[in-house]
Amino acid sequence: MTKSEKLFERAVKRIPGGVNSPVRAYGSIGEAPRFIDRADGCYIYDVDGNRYIDYIDSWGPMILGHNFPAIRESVLKACENGLSFGCATEIEVEMAEFICERIPHVDMIRMVNSGTEAVMSAIRVARGFTGKNKIIKFAGCYHGHSDAMLVSAGSGVMTSGVPDSAGVPKGCTEDTMLAVYNDIGSVKALFEQADGQVAAVIVEAVGANMGVVPPCEGFLEGLRALCDQYHALLIFDEVITGFRLAFGGAAQYFGVTPDLVTYGKIIGAGMPVGAYGGRRDVMELVSPAGKVYQAGTLSGNPVAMAAGLTQLKYLYDHQEIYKELEAKGQMLYGGMEKIAREKGLKVQMNHISSLGSLFFTGQPVVDYVSAKTSDTKAFAEYFKKMLKMGIHMAPSQFEAMFLSAAHTDEIIMETLDAVKLVL
Ligand SMILES: *Cc1c(COP(=O)(O)O)cnc(C)c1O
């Protein structure tokens, strides 16, 4: 038995499913998850001493690679002053100013502790601002685990979402309307049915939680136009794409301006941070400035802010990273696509910038229904063999691969060699 297997045996006795977040359990893979000891640059090491090239990158935060020296040092330095005060600090002001002065559609911002909280709060303020209740979300888009957002399954448009999870009362999701990603007609139909009651449309500007599904031409622009027409707010959930596709996230990348935006992952550099921000007239409604309540004992935590701000400053000062990530994405994902094509495999390689997913289906993947046509057993085989070759990827067909600045061309070539053998 490996150390990972022994740890998993202990874990399942005391932690539901053995993990503190479901995807970590390797559920669709059928073996014990690797327990991680440490990570550095593009490498991650498990407790059995195996080294892997890591394409999970903590699901995105590690865009500069693991254990980035400047971030580690900023955390150690912040720790010397105490871990938390529950009071206002200078670094929170610096963080807010740094973002608002550099991202044109963010006039004001509020820090929270996770992406889930960021989305939950953005939706509350959108409802408070518009005085309406309905929210349009897309099948296959993940926005954290708050009750109203736990609606995604189902194959088509639904005017009243069915909860995906036990323990979510129907009442919590009856105002969540479900549209089809990349299908602007489905959104228009919901707006018409909703009779002026839509507070907001929330979307992952690049779908990255049904595997990677980029928006088709005109989709985001279409959402902007419909929101304007029906006086609803457009919320980009940039928990993955923020500071990743560009410093200004998907909004900058595609040139479409949301009213509100949510951040997570990269913004905390590995510490638990989320944030929501946007138009001043909307954000001024958040308490104590306004009447939409939202709070957090540990929000804006000084150690977390130190890590996040150091990463954001580094990214802003080194924006060549974004060009490099584009090139690396082209090299890795383009390379994978070429290998699959040469072998005549029925797969789809969806990718954009540093994000990519290899879908085991013959059908183009443009939304949740087409993503679901993938052969998850074939994916599991591929995953296990890649892991044996020393490549650590998300243990699910419906997650992205994350490239970081620490993945060199040599590392990518090594990965492609493994792909060639495994496929
Ligand atoms: C990860 C994620 C969330 C949830 O963030 P947590 O920090 O896990 O709560 C929300 N939206 C998107 C798009 C995500 O990828």
CA-closest residue to ligand 1 atom 11: 143
Neighbours of 356 (CB within 10 A): 23
**Which atom of ligand 1 sits closest to the CA of residue 264?**
7
Domain end residue (candidates: 267, 284, 317): 317
Q: What is the CATH number of the domain that holds 213?
A: 3.40.640.10
Q: For a pocket test of ligand 1, which of 116, 141, 149 has the largest count of ligand atoms closer than 8 A to its C-beta?
A: 116
Domain that holds residue 381: 3-67+320-422
Report the interhelical angle of 90-100 vs 302-317 (nearest 10°).
30
Same domain? 105 vs 16: no
pLDDT of residue 153: 58
Task: Report the nearest-CA residue for atom 14 of ligand 1.
Answer: 239
Low-confidence ranges of the chain (pLDDT < 70): 153-159
Question: pLDDT by residue (tens digit) across 220-264?
Answer: 999 999 999 999 999 999 999 999 999 999 999 999 999 999 999
Domain identity same for 326 and 262: no
pLDDT digit string (tens) for 304-353?
A: 999 999 999 999 999 999 999 999 999 999 999 999 999 999 999 999 99
Cα–Cα distance between 422 and 382 in angstroms, integer? 7
Q: Do 299 and 374 belong together in one domain?
A: no
- Pick the catalytic residue: 26, 52, 55, 142? 142
- 213 and 86 within one domain: yes
List the one residue out of 168, 352, 348, 331 whose CA is nearest residue 253: 352
Q: Which residue among 297, 317, 337 closes a domain? A: 317
Q: Does ligand 1 lie within 6 Å of residue 264's CB atom? A: yes
> Position 112: which residue type?
V
Shared domain for 51 and 97, answered yes or no, is no
Q: What local confidence, expressed as pLDDT, does residue 117 receive?
A: 98
Cα–Cα dist 300/272, whole Å:
10
The verdict on 58 and 75 lying in the same domain is no
Residues 130, 77, single domain; the answer is yes
- CB of 183 closer than 6 A to ligand 1? no
- The residue from 289, 317, 345 where one domain ends is 317
Q: 340 with 245, same domain?
A: no
Give residue 155's pLDDT: 53
Q: Ligand 1 within 6 A of 402 CB? A: no
**To test the ligand 1 pocket, which listed residue (24, 240, 262) has its Cβ within 8 A of the most ligand atoms?**
240
Task: Report which ligand 1 atom has the smallest distance to the Cα of 119.
Answer: 10
Tokens for 214, please give them. 């980029």
Question: Which domain CATH number covers 42?
Answer: 3.90.1150.10
* Pair 185, 202 in one domain: yes
- Burial of 113 (C-beta count, 10 Å sphere; 0-12/13-18/19+): buried
Q: Are residues 14 and 52 in the same domain?
A: yes
**Are 250 and 268 found together in one domain?**
yes
Residues 141 and 277 in one domain: yes
Look at residue 160 in the predicted model and tell me its pLDDT.
72
Q: Distance between alpha carbon 288 and the CA centroid of its chain, in Å?
A: 29
Burial of 291-315, coded b for 16+ CB within 10 Å and e otherwise, reads: ebebebeebbbbbbbbbbbbbbebb
Ligand 1 contact, 209 CB (< 6 A): yes
**What's the structural domain count of the chain?**
2
For every residue of 131-179, DSSP letters joined together read S--EEEEETT----S-GGG----SSS-BSSPPPSSTT--HHHHTTEEEE
What is the residue with the minimal CA distance to atom 5 of ligand 1?
A: 115
For ligand 1, atom 6: residue with the closest CA: 115
Q: Which of 63, 143, 299, 396 to mutate to test the pocket of ligand 1 (most atoms within 8 A of CB)?
A: 143
**Looking at residue 154, what is its pLDDT?**
54
What residues are paired with 233 via a beta bridge? 200
